[in-house]
Amino acid sequence: MTFPVVGMVGGGQLARMTHEAGIPLGIRFRILSDTAQDSAAQVAADVTVGDYRDLDTLRAFAQGCDVITFDHEHVPTEHLRALEADGVAVRPGPDALVHAQDKGVMRAKLAEIGVPCPRNRIVADPADVTRFAAETAGYPLVLKTVRGGYDGKGVWFVRAEADAADAFRAGVPVLAEEKVDFVRELAANVVRSPHGQAVAYPVVESVQVDGVCDTMIAPAPGLSEALSAQAQRLALTVAAELGVVGHLAVELFETADGRILVNELAMRPHNSGHWTMDGAATSQFANHLRAVLDLPLGDPRPRAPWTVMANVLGGDYPDMYAGYLHCMARDPGLKIHMYGKDVKPGRKVGHVTTYGDDLPDVRERARHAADYLRGTIDE
């Protein structure tokens, strides 16, 4: 067979949905998964169970793959450099991916290329946090571990020096940032190929609940054309300057005075782009595969004026399949995507997508389905 083999490190839901996008293209997909029960390991034919932190495991996995890509950013940077030295095509490469792995490196690079960010600095201890507060607008501040944090983990909101102690208990570097007075969170999703072709999806609004993404609205309601274009240009610039290959999600703050600031970067398919599975001509997953294989990128335009994605979070109602009858009968246009995960409170176990011409209607349909599947409503 002449079709390429794509190896994805990580067996979570992002790998599961990327695998799905490769099926109609005939792309052979190989997964390095932590366990045989992981989301993607349940559906892919070629699964290696192993530790992505072990270089020998990575090298063995890469044999026979035409390209290696990722569903998370946690593979040690030095291991990725070793794979590249072995001649493996790693996309995105370690020189790009380190900016999504290390928030200190990311902030320094974005400052160098003139990308607007919250004021920030690496801090050594709680007293240093107070010194940083004096340099900015004072408390409250945001503290983040430079590596490993996600979905609100590794993030602390501190109102005084005494609140900062927990951030330093793990013994890893800590980044202090000013607490931004923002009106909402946005995300700009772009995809870039090795030869420099790039596409930008509509900028979306991200609704967060307790630090976890709850709802995504595409495009962001009420966002001016000027600010939308600025966000897309910013994301495309970051992708080019950092040498990103594949999908890049740029999470943004929209401030009360009409600015946008970069909050986080993710160099992989991202929750803020899940709406594209049903709402765009080409999904983020299909375009990520096209990019890492250096194929022409697909059309990112939306299929309908509005698309809403709502995450399905685990609650106290484990039998979500029982809810399909009601949800599908109530809304034949609803799209349900489940990840094969055990249902645990607060855990992302799936998402639903709706689209149409009327935003309030589209949003209510998505919210109703997500809440019904979770068991928080029963009609």
Helices (H) and strands (E) in the chain, counts: 11, 17
pLDDT digits (tens, 9 = 90+) for 286-338: 999 999 999 999 999 999 999 999 999 988 777 899 999 999 999 999 999 99
Is 185's pLDDT higher than 90? Answer: yes
Q: Do the annotations mark residue 364 as ligand-binding?
A: no
Residue 205 annotated in ligand binding? no
Residue 103 annotated as binding site: yes
Q: Is residue 264 part of an annotated ligand binding site? A: yes
Tell whether 185 is in a known binding site: yes
What are the structural domains of the chain? 5-90 (3.40.50.20), 119-178 (3.30.1490.20), 182-374 (3.30.470.20)
Residue pLDDT, tens place only, 14-33? 999 999 999 999 999 999 99
Looking at this protein, which amino acid is placed at residue 275? W
341 known ligand binder = no
Please tell me whether 178 is known to bind a ligand: yes
Q: Pick the range with the lowest mean pLDDT from 35-39, 87-91, 210-214, 339-343.
A: 210-214
Closest Cα partner for 250 from 227, 273, 217, 226? 273
8 Å CB contact between 178 and 197: no
Q: Is the pLDDT of residue 250 over 80?
A: yes
Assign 148 a pLDDT band (cuts: 50, 70, 90): confident
Task: Determine the angle formed by the axes of helices 284-292 and 13-22, rounding to 10 degrees.
Answer: 70
The chain-wide mean pLDDT, for the chain, equals 95
Question: Is residue 271 within 8 Å of 213, Cβ to Cβ?
Answer: yes
109 assigned to a ligand binding site: no
| 179 marked as part of a ligand binding site | yes
**φ, ψ at 81 (rounded to 5°):** -65, -35
pLDDT given for residue 149 in this prediction: 63
